[in-house]
Structure 1
Amino acid sequence: MIDFLRGTVAHLETEYIVLDVQGVGYRVFCPNPYAFAKSEGTVTVYIHHHVREDAILLFGFASREEQKLFRKLIDVNGIGPRVALGILGGGTPDTVVSAIYQENITFLTKLPGIGKKTAQRIILDLKDKLDGIATGAVMIPSDTEVDLFNLGSEGWPEAKEGLKALGYTDVELDKVWHQLKDNVTPDESVDSVMKKALKLLYAG
C-alpha cells in the first residue's frame, strides 16, 4: 500500500492534483487541491490508498494529522472517503477534533455531507479514539455564538486565516476577497469559499 508520494505538482483541478513522481503522474484527490498551488519543487503528499472492486483511488494530505484523521473518519459507519475528504476540506484537524471532543453537533453539521445523525455517530465513535491526532484545544462557537460557517462578510476571517496558513499575505487575500465577495452565498461552506479563493490566487 502507498503511504506517501514525493514529487512535483504537474496539474491542479478542483478535486485533485496530479503529482509527477519520476515521470509517472498520480491523480490524488485532496481536501483542498489549490492549497498546493504555491508549492514549488518537490512536495510530500501523505496518501490513503483506497481499493474497491471497481476502482483504485489515492487520497492525499499535506500532513500526517490529516491522513490519520481521514482514516478514523472512514471507520465511522456511513462515512465514505468522499465525505471524509469534504470534512477535512471544511475544517482543520484541530477544529474537527475539537468539535468532536466538545460534542458540538452544530459545527459538525455545517461540514459537507454531515447531518445530525451522522454528527452524533462521529462523536460517539471517535471521541475516545483521537489521541495524538490534534490538540483538541480550539474553542468552537456554540449554538448561540457566531456561526463561522455561515459565510457572509463576517465569516471571511475564518477562511482568510486558513489561507494565511498556506502562506498567502493579507494584501493578496484582501484583493481576492474584493473579487470574490459578490460570488458567495450566505450558506456556502468554508471549504467552498477557500477553493474559490485559491482558484483566483492560483490564476494570479
Structure 2
Amino acid sequence: MIAYIKGKVTYIQDDSVIIDVQGVGYEILCANPFVFQTSLNDEALIFTYHHVREDAQVLYGFKNQEQKSLFTKLLQVSGIGPKGALAILGSVNVSDFVAAVEREDDKFLTSFPGVGKKTARQVILDLKGKLTAMLSISHESADNQPAQKQSVEGLSEAQEALRSLGYSEREIKAVIPQLQKENLSNTDEIIRKALALLMKN
C-alpha cells in the first residue's frame, strides 16, 4: 500500500495532480486538485490511497490524514464507491461531515452528489460513533451546526450559479478552497466572493 507520495507538483488537472518523484510521474486523483496550486513546481507531500481493481490501479490523493481516513471509512459504506467518496470530500470539511453523521442529519448528507436518502441512512448506520475517535471535531463544529449546513448548501448553490454564468468546472474548482476558508454562509455573499476571485485569476 502506498501511504503517501512526496515529490514535485508538475501538473494540476481538473481531477488530478501529477507528482514527479525522481523522474517518475505519478497521477493522483483528488477531490479538488487546486488545493495544491501553491505547491506547483515545488515539493509537496500528498497522502494517498492505492485502490486496486481487476482492470485498474488508481491513486487517490488527500491534503491531510483526516481526509484520507474519512475516504477509507466512506468506502466501507454500501452504495459509496471511490468517486462518490471523493465527491463528498470535495464539498465539505471533514469535521462538518462527522458532526452531521453524529447528529443523524440525513438531510445534510443528501446534499452531496450521488447521496440519496437510502445511502444517507446507510452512512449514519455504518459510521455513527466510528468517526469521532479517528477524527477531531472542534467544539465550534458541534455548536455551529445550522451555520455549517447553510454554508455547505450555499456553496453548492453558488457553484450551480457560476456554472449557469458560463464558468467551467476547472475555474470553479480553483476558487473553492478560498471560498471554504472565508466560511461565508449566505449564497449571495459566496457568489460575490467567487466572482471577485474569478476576475483576479
| Bin of the TM-score, shorter chain as denominator length | 0.7 to 0.9
Counterpart of 2:48? Answer: 47
Once residues 13 and 59 of structure 1 are traced to their aligned partners in structure 2, the CA distance between those partners, rounded to angstroms, is: 14
Cα separation, partners in 2 of 1:50 and 1:148, compared to 1, 3 Å: closer
Match of 1:26, as an amino acid? Answer: Y
Cα separation, partners in 2 of 1:177 and 1:25, compared to 1, 3 Å: same
Once residues 72 and 179 of structure 1 are traced to their aligned partners in structure 2, the CA distance between those partners, rounded to angstroms, is: 34
Once residues 179 and 7 of structure 1 are traced to their aligned partners in structure 2, the CA distance between those partners, rounded to angstroms, is: 29
Q: 3-state SS of the aligned residue for 2:146?
A: coil
How far does the alpha carbon of each residue in 1:6-52 deviate from its partner, in whole angstroms, 9 at most, with x for none? 01111111111111111111110011101111125211100000000
Once residues 174 and 53 of structure 1 are traced to their aligned partners in structure 2, the CA distance between those partners, rounded to angstroms, is: 46
Q: Tell me the TM-score normalized by structure 1.
A: 0.74
Once residues 71 and 29 of structure 2 are traced to their aligned partners in structure 1, the CA distance between those partners, rounded to angstroms, is: 12
Q: How far has the Cα of 1:148 moved from its partner?
A: 4.1
Once residues 70 and 124 of structure 1 are traced to their aligned partners in structure 2, the CA distance between those partners, rounded to angstroms, is: 17
Aligned residues with identical type, % of pairs? 37
How far does the alpha carbon of each residue in 1:25-84 deviate from its partner, in whole angstroms, 9 at most, with x for none? 111001110111112521110000000000000000010000000000000111100000
The answer (yes or no) to whether the contact 1:28–1:60 under 8 Å persists in 2 is: yes
Q: 3-state SS of the aligned residue for 2:100?
A: helix
Match of 2:3, as an amino acid? Answer: D
Once residues 152 and 127 of structure 2 are traced to their aligned partners in structure 1, the CA distance between those partners, rounded to angstroms, is: 23
The answer (yes or no) to whether the contact 2:91–2:152 under 8 Å persists in 1 is: no
How far does the alpha carbon of each residue in 1:140-178 deviate from its partner, in whole angstroms, 9 at most, with x for none? 328xx846414249x99x97542459xxxxxxx977523
Greater helix content = 2
Q: How far has the Cα of 1:126 moved from its partner?
A: 0.2
- Aligned residue pairs, count: 172
Q: How far has the Cα of 1:132 moved from its partner?
A: 2.3
Once residues 65 and 152 of structure 2 are traced to their aligned partners in structure 1, the CA distance between those partners, rounded to angstroms, is: 26
Once residues 115 and 196 of structure 2 are traced to their aligned partners in structure 1, the CA distance between those partners, rounded to angstroms, is: 30
Q: Tell me how large the CA RMSD over aligned residues is.
A: 2.9
Counterpart of 1:60? Answer: 61
Q: Tell me the TM-score normalized by structure 2.
A: 0.75
Q: How far has the Cα of 1:87 moved from its partner?
A: 0.5
Cα separation, partners in 2 of 1:120 and 1:20, compared to 1, 3 Å: same
Cα separation, partners in 2 of 1:161 and 1:152, compared to 1, 3 Å: closer
Q: Which has the higher contact order (CA 8 A, sep 6+)?
A: 1
Counterpart of 1:141? Answer: 146
Counterpart of 2:90? Answer: 89
Q: Which runs of 4 or more aligned residues in structure 1 lie more than 3 Å from their structure 2 counterparts after TM superposition? A: 145-148, 158-161, 173-176
Q: After TM superposition, list the pairs within 5 Å mapping 1:43-192 onto structure 2.
A: 43-130=44-131, 131-135=133-137, 137=139, 138=141, 139-141=144-146, 146=150, 148-150=152-154, 151-152=157-158, 160-163=178-181, 176-178=194-196
The answer (yes or no) to whether the contact 2:29–2:61 under 8 Å persists in 1 is: yes
Match of 1:88, as an amino acid? Answer: L
Once residues 151 and 193 of structure 2 are traced to their aligned partners in structure 1, the CA distance between those partners, rounded to angstroms, is: 24
